[in-house]
Structure 1
Amino acid sequence: MTGSGLKHRVARLRQAYAPHEHRPLGGYLAAMGTYATVTASLVGLVRATGRPVPQRPAPADVVLLCVATHKLSRLLSKDAVTSPLRAPFTRYDRPIGSGEVMEQVRDQGSPTRHAVGELLSCPFCLAVWVATGLTGGLVLAPRLTRMVATALTAVAASDFLQMGYAVAQRAAEGGHHGQ
């Protein structure tokens, strides 16, 4: 099938799928193709280096990667400091607290640009990519990946402690004013 034939087919599919809403199906296909390529490249790299793949990951590694995936996904998709990475694909909306911002996907541009904007501004969407990268890193460079994941896990724990402290402080101040 030619490129123009595929574009026409995707346009017809998009019209049938979501006639009253902009859904960049072509961009989603490009993102999925990129993800598949990255994943296949990781597999190829593991095979080429002869790194052993564990039969089962250690439970401690699973927990470490879970928390690190959560933190890195939020850091990349919501943190104010990483907004320059998202700026070509999103538009600033408002702060949402704890150093995070809400952004909207830019409507103008290609379907791929729109899909990338959705991916980069959604921690749930980005988590699949981050988890894949960290899991590949655990096989290819386990010591370095564990060190990075440990730092991300420490930051996530610190975030929860900071939020808990702020809640406790507000409760203490509220209780003090009521006496």
Structure 2
Amino acid sequence: MPSPDDARGRLRQNLEEEGEAYTSGEDHPLGAYVGAMGVYVGGIAALAAVARLTRRELPDPAPWDVVLCAGATHRLSRLLAKDPVTSPLRAPFARYRGVEGPAELAEDVRGTGARKAIGELLTCPFCTGMWISTGIAAGMVFAPRATRLASATLTALACSDLLQFVRVRMQQKTGESGE
């Protein structure tokens, strides 16, 4: 009968071979991604356990709550992943490349393994959005009024940004037509 160490060794070897077959030698930190998924799932499990222990009711989100959460998630993910002011949070994981758009930076992820995976998470608004929306959902369970206020504020900021872009576009069209 094989020892547990032999079985673990074979499992590790099989995982490494599968990882190599998947990545074809490219720097794609599968192990770090597994770790990030583990942290996410562990966080969800901890939140669910605390909610159950404290007998928190799960909210029944109305359509307006979904709109607020979507706007807040969008705006907060852009702030975290692209804003110049939050660049010190990303600095250990990214390299500054320049300006990408209005009040947004272009950055390249740096490092390998966990550092690279965290960099990808912190520089990608789509990636951070999952974590942020989960945080907002937790806020709706544990502090619904404060979460709605914060979500409304961030959604108002997202709408303001949209209006700024619309205004600039209208000014460009007016300038182009000579009016």
TM-score normalised over the length of structure 2: 0.89
Q: Secondary structure at the match of 1:93?
A: strand
Counterparts of 2:156 and 2:177, CA distance in 1? 31
Counterparts of 2:128 and 2:80, CA distance in 1? 8
Does 2:83 correspond to 1:79?
Answer: yes
Q: Name the residue aligned to 1:92.
A: 96
Where structure 2 has 5 or more consecutive residues not aligned to the other structure, the ranges are none
Matches within 5 A, 1:61-76: 61-76=65-80
Does 2:129 correspond to 1:127?
Answer: yes
What displacement does 1:48 show?
2.0
Q: Secondary structure at the match of 2:107?
A: strand
Q: Name the residue aligned to 1:58.
A: 62
Counterparts of 1:132 and 1:44, CA distance in 2? 15
Q: Which moved more, 1:36-45 or 1:131-140?
A: 36-45
Counterparts of 1:102 and 1:11, CA distance in 2? 33
Matches within 5 A, 1:10-89: 10-54=15-59, 56-89=60-93
Q: Secondary structure at the match of 1:102?
A: strand
What displacement does 1:10 show?
4.2
Identity level (%) = 47
Q: Name the residue aligned to 2:166.
A: 164
What displacement does 1:82 show?
0.7
Q: Which moved more, 1:163-172 or 1:141-150?
A: 163-172
The letter of the residue matching 1:75 is L
Q: Secondary structure at the match of 1:95?
A: strand
What displacement does 1:75 show?
0.9
Aligned-residue Cα RMSD (Å) equals 1.8
Where structure 1 has 5 or more consecutive residues not aligned to the other structure, the ranges are none
Counterparts of 1:101 and 1:62, CA distance in 2? 28
Q: How many residue pairs are counted as aligned between the two chains? A: 173
The letter of the residue matching 1:51 is R
What displacement does 1:14 show?
2.0
Larger Rg: 2
Counterparts of 2:87 and 2:12, CA distance in 1? 31
Counterparts of 1:53 and 1:159, CA distance in 2? 32
Residue by residue over 1:109-149, the C-alpha shift from the partner in whole angstroms, topping out at 9 and shown as x without a partner, is 4x111111011111111111001000010111000000000
What displacement does 1:37 show?
1.2
